[in-house]
Amino acid sequence: MDLMSVLGYIFGAGFILLSIMLDGDTWSIIPGNLVQFGDIPSVMIVIGGTIAALMISFPAKSLGKIPKHLKIVLMPKKYNPQNYIEQIVFFAKEARINGLLALEDKLNNVEDKFLKNSLLLVVDSVEPDKVNALLNNELDYMEERHGQDQSFYLQAAEYAPAFGMIGTLIGLINLLANLSDQAALAQSMAVALITTFYGTIMANVIFKPIARKLKERHNEEYLCKMIIAEGVQAIQGGDNPNFIQEKLTRLLPESAAKNIAANNNQ
């Protein structure tokens, strides 16, 4: 469970609800204030309109990925670059001592499919140029696929406020058409203002944070797969394991690289 994401949503929803219920004069909580922010037509305009626009803009599979993306945000797979470097160095030492074919028996215990398949290319004596092309194509495809997923939520973040403004226009039109009817006037004002509120909340509390978190998850996975790609090609080239470790460590952020260097010196 990603505690920061969970706390972020709790704090975000909590402070917004608290600000609605808080009476600034008496500093008392008035739950009844929430009733003023509940409006079914506004919900229909913003949520319904945003979903409709996404259905038009993206294929059905993009909407079907929403549960998967929420799981990635809240319960992400942990990617540990140091662990991948250690595995690569282990295989490099094994290949240097016993040859590349000796790696095949060691691959049964490898859980990461990309690492396993990449090393199998080396074991199967695939030409280095082809290995390089295959691994780079895999990285490019992953980046493109993840970029499309992020664009889904960024586009939703644009649609939601837009439909909020559409709701505002609808409310203003109804307001002008019913200036003599006090009951209709209040209802029209509610739709005019609350739809903009709903659209802004959806964009900035839901869609943009999800897109940003998916970007962070992508960066974590991409770094580890880049380490695998560089490491496997170094193993195929017969590089010294110590050199491979140094080379891969330089791919890490400076703070992580220093921690690895400190651990190696202990």
Closest CA to 46 of 218, 197, 261: 197
- DSSP class of residue 29 equals B
Split at pLDDT 50, 70, 90, the class of 232 is very high
What predicted TM-score, i.e. pTM, was given to this entire model?
A: 0.85
Concatenating the DSSP letter of every residue in 98-141 gives H-GGGHHHHGGG---HHHHHHHHHHHTT--HHHHHHHHHHHHHH
Q: Which residue has the higher pLDDT, 172 or 70?
A: 70
At 104, the pLDDT band (50, 70, 90 cuts) reads confident
Is residue 181 over pLDDT 80?
no
Which value, in Å, is the radius of gyration of the alpha carbons in the chain? 27
Tell me the domain boundaries of the chain: 1-37, 39-265
State the pLDDT confidence band at 64, using cuts at 50, 70 and 90.
very high
pLDDT > 90 fraction of the chain, expressed in percent and rounded: 57
Question: What is the pLDDT, as a whole number, of residue 213?
Answer: 95
Q: Quick one: pLDDT at residue 32? A: 81
Please check the confidence at residue 114 and state whether its pLDDT lies above 60: yes
Give me the pLDDT at residue 264, please. 57
Residue 208, pLDDT score: 95
